[in-house]
Structure 1
Amino acid sequence: MPLNKGQREAVEAPFKPTLVIAGAGTGKTTVLIERILRYIDEGIEPSRILAITFTNKSRDEISHRIRKRSPVESFPRIYTFHAFFIEYLERI
């Protein structure tokens, strides 16, 4: 499914932390996946990519679709907010 104008702008935005705010069913997960794949295609080491999402379902979908489209050896860190902060708190 092709990206719409707003989605394409989010995917092609400069390489820096990016916040995507949009309603349910608007393609946020697709944008995040395409942006991660763009980073990998541009030579960013996948293990240096961090993606945080709200739900386990979204996290699983992102992981599945990236593995399906990009056979990389290392893999981006993809967390829910809860899992990310649990891991962070366990380290301090």
Structure 2
Amino acid sequence: MGLNDSFDNVRNQILVMDPLPSINKVYAMVMRVEKQRQVHINFGESVESSVLLAKSAGQSANTYNRFCTYCNTPGHLVETCFKKNGYPK
């Protein structure tokens, strides 16, 4: 119950488990969620930096003409699709 409100989903998942998991398993679950959030934050910053770099290089106009046929998303091509080729590390 000592988790802050941002971990409500994890707390609820843990409390509905029957039987309740060990403290080590609970800790691992919370750490996994926290790591995923950190990766998401870092990835978001990387994407924002890439967009700013592309705009400053004058390439932003070209992204409007690009459309990925793999994920059906405008702004990039299949060759650079993260969903197909993997996300940067």
With normalisation by structure 2, the TM-score equals 0.25
- The higher radius of gyration belongs to 2
Structure with a larger share of its residues in strand:
1
Structure with a larger share of its residues in helix:
2
